[in-house]
Amino acid sequence: MRRTWLWLCVLASWPAPGAAQDYEAERRELVQEIARDFRDTSGHTGREDGSEAMLAAMLRVPRHEFVPDEVRRYAYENRPLPIGHGQTISQPYIVAIMTDLLDVGPGDTVLEIGTGSGYQAAVLAAIVGRVYTIEIVGPLAASARERLARLGYDNVEVRPGDGYDGWEDHAPYDAIVVTAAASHIPPPLVRQLKAGGRMVIPVGDRFLTQQLVLVEKDETGGVRTRQLLPVQFVPLTGGH
């Protein structure tokens, strides 16, 4: 392995922006479980270990701040949780693998489709320079914007709206992550992806098997897609 659990324990003591220092032991245990999941699914994803930056972000971001009070006691279980309006916060392993597959770092700009409560955006914000995120459910967009600001994630900009068409004003993006299942890969998102960039998106019908798909755009603008894992996401909604 490329890291030790001693290293993880040290990182766990780093403060998350604006967050009280509680649930540290639960976050450590969750990251250890995520590391096991990476090894178990490496035959599908090609990722036996997560990156140090991603693991550090998962250790620092206070997931309990991104779930409703009534399910807060489950915040560090490795499963999705309801956040209202028929939406969910994704399973932590799924957040971790989607983040890791983007291969992003400091200075990169990422577009997220489907803000939800803001957890995925916060994990990305701990790694990259700037995150732009779109949420179609107005109340969720408003609460996520307030939450991210309160916790000190000042490199995230939230916009309410239909994410199918992306956010042209800030394109091209180094990476794009879609946190709801689409019936197909939206062409506007492919166009807004920078040459050499990556997009991770669940594709499939709500009631059938969905696949987590990695989209890679090469330096000439050619696009390659690869199915990685069966997943289950709420559907991408909107005009398309």
Show which residues are catalytic: 90
Cβ atoms of residues 27 and 57 within 8 Å: no
Buried b / exposed e over 34-68, threshold 16 CB at 10 Å, is bbebbeebeeebebeebbebbbbbbbbbbbbbbbe
Across the chain, the runs of DSSP E, i.e. the strands, are: 81-84, 87-89, 109-113, 130-135, 156-160, 173-178, 193-203, 210-217, 223-231
Q: How far is CA 35 from the centre of its chain?
A: 16
Buried b / exposed e over 71-98, threshold 16 CB at 10 Å, is eeeebbbeebbebeeebbbbbbbbbbbb
From the list 112, 118, 177, 106, the residue with the least C-alpha distance to 150 is 118
